[in-house]
Amino acid sequence: MTILMPLYNEEATAARIINEVLRLKINLELIIINNGSTDGTSEVLHQFADRPNVRIIENERNIGKGDGIIAGLKYASGEYTVIQDGDLEYDPLDLVKMLKVAEDNRASAVFGSRTLNPKSGVSYQRYLLGGKLLTVLANLLFRVNITDESTCYKMIRTDILKGMNLVSRKFEFCPEVVAKLGRNNIKIYEIPVTYRPRKFEEGKKINWKDGIQAIWTLFKYRLYPFSKVAIKSEQQTADNR
């Protein structure tokens, strides 16, 4: 499995989350994208540079989360690829459970749903409402039948993710992926995951403008016919069941 970890000014949490990922009892490669950090994130990453299953990509400037993901995805070689944020909001142990669901069901996509876990925290009420709105829109527009559109934990078969020709450079990466899965009738499995949200003073970066962009992205991929994914023909039966 490939884990993509885009980082921007995560000096305080980078070492801990990287160590938690590397302790997972699965065969993984970790691709870290330092997205133009201006704090001490680069120095923190130096201690992991010699790990055989770690690749570090240094982006000179920060455009957004999607830009980092696109940069790292080029090097992904695992059967599945998943995004891991550099903060401590999500528990990497849930990735092991998600991978098992993916392998047991030969799934093309597995999402970690915060909504399905009644113990999940809430950072701000407006974020909770915004996430629910995006989920309702995604289900109405693409019939994906999911409970958490904006979850970070989206585990997708790597060949499918690469075939999407992703263009989103910021946080609209999530609705782009959901829309393209939906447009191609690819079933999304979900499992509950742990979520410990942080506040703005702790480094949270997403804001209301990103929410507006996410809404527009969902409508854009519903209205325009350019979201088909290049899927290998021999896989289509399994992917679309």
Residue 200 belongs to a domain: yes
Number of domains, the chain = 1
64: which 2 tokens? 């957004």
Residue 20 belongs to a domain: yes
Residue 238 belongs to a domain: no
Q: Which residues contact 19 (CB under 8 A, 6 or more apart)?
A: none
Q: Taking Cα atoms as reference points, which of 207, 186, 206, 167 lies closest to residue 69?
A: 167
Residue 212 belongs to a domain: yes
Q: Which residues contact 225 (CB under 8 A, 6 or more apart)?
A: none
- For residue 178, the SS3 value is helix
CATH number for the domain harbouring residue 225? 3.90.550.10
Residue 140 belongs to a domain: yes
Residue 99 belongs to a domain: yes
For residue 201, the model assigns a pLDDT of 44
Residue 145 belongs to a domain: yes
Residue 239 belongs to a domain: no
pLDDT in tens, the chain (241 residues): 999 999 999 999 999 999 999 999 999 999 999 998 999 999 999 999 999 999 999 988 887 888 899 999 999 999 999 999 998 999 999 999 999 999 999 999 999 999 999 887 666 566 577 779 999 999 999 999 999 999 999 999 999 999 998 998 777 889 999 999 999 999 999 999 999 875 544 444 566 577 788 899 999 998 876 555 555 534 443 444 4
d(CA 73, CA 82): 10
Q: Is this prediction's pTM over 0.85?
A: yes
Residue 53 belongs to what domain range? 2-231
